[in-house]
Structure 1
Amino acid sequence: MPAPLDSFDDVAPALHRLHALPVPVVDALRHWRGTVPAEEVLHVETDPRWADTDAFVEHYGAELLPFSANCVVVAGKRGGESTLAACLVPSAARVDVNGTVRRQLGARKASFAAMDTATGLTGMEHGGITPVGLPADWALFVDPRLLDLTHVLLGSGLRRGKLIMPGKALAELPGAVLVDGLGRA
């Protein structure tokens, strides 16, 4: 199958590569709902050394940056209560944690979640967290600019692979909330 982003030689439907994905992502793909068929979620094997955005773009090509998105886990605190959520923004943007995210969570304070918390609760690796297969009770804040992309390059849950999916499918992921101003340049 030809890659929607020409930088990869070996692209296949993620449903054909469940062995290369963590359990939460496998479960999400098996129980997929939405107007975009699960077969349109693609997987590409990548070298884990290049998982972080800057290294990935340098190794695989700068033309991927406009199609690339990062998923980060955030924590909001208010009155001793902590709420976790995930944020999906273009890779060239930074999540507005102290403004937009804090307001979305109704929190007094917001920050990036500790790595052990993010990886432990998602069942995914640091540097590979994806919005596919997040805990069911989490909100997923999505930068609406991503929906206009024909394909978005995301983590696969593991550092050794990426998912490629139509941008419009992001709005249909469980817990998805479109948030203007989520990502800042």
Structure 2
Amino acid sequence: MVNLSATDDEWQTDDETGYENPYDYDPNAADENDPTVDGDDPSLDLDEDTDAITEDEDDELEDVEADEEDGELAEIEPMYPTYEAWVEGWFTQVIRRKMGPGGGESGLAWDARWWLYPEVAGRLKSLWFGWEEARASDKASAMSNWWIHQLDPHLRVIFDSDSGPMSHAKRDGSFSGWPALPYEPMPPSLRDEYPADS
């Protein structure tokens, strides 16, 4: 415990750093307590060590350049050549849900003619890109992240039997999607207010 009741005469006032004037401190001065400063350690040769580090860095850069030339860093070949092939060969075979008899009536909505629905096609194409990227990733958790952060949110919209893109799908093919959203061109005055490059 520190005795704070000491008088001025009892306080230790010696400079523990060993320097009489702390303002006269030279950070580049040799440390007399360091055994390697006097050159006693023959294993330390600063010039050779520096050259070795530089050579290692050069070797690493050459390896990266060689990999690029060999195509190792090039784009990885996808397992499925198109997103249509992925939907047919993977999505419709792996994703299995209880579907209702008709859209909006019960269960989930799905139309075998999924390509008639631009939103569904766009979402499935995005899922295919993400799936191929996760499959080729070196990270063990990449595919799990794809399921949780990409697939599940898209499925909630695609299969939504109340308001999803296929929510009124019928087995007889009498429904081919909701009409496109109404659109009117933006007035020129607003176009100037919201430029495309902002």
| Larger Cα-atom Rg | 2
TM-score normalized by structure 1?
0.24
Structure with bigger helix share is 2
TM-score normalized by structure 2?
0.23
Q: Which has the higher contact order (CA 8 A, sep 6+)?
A: 1
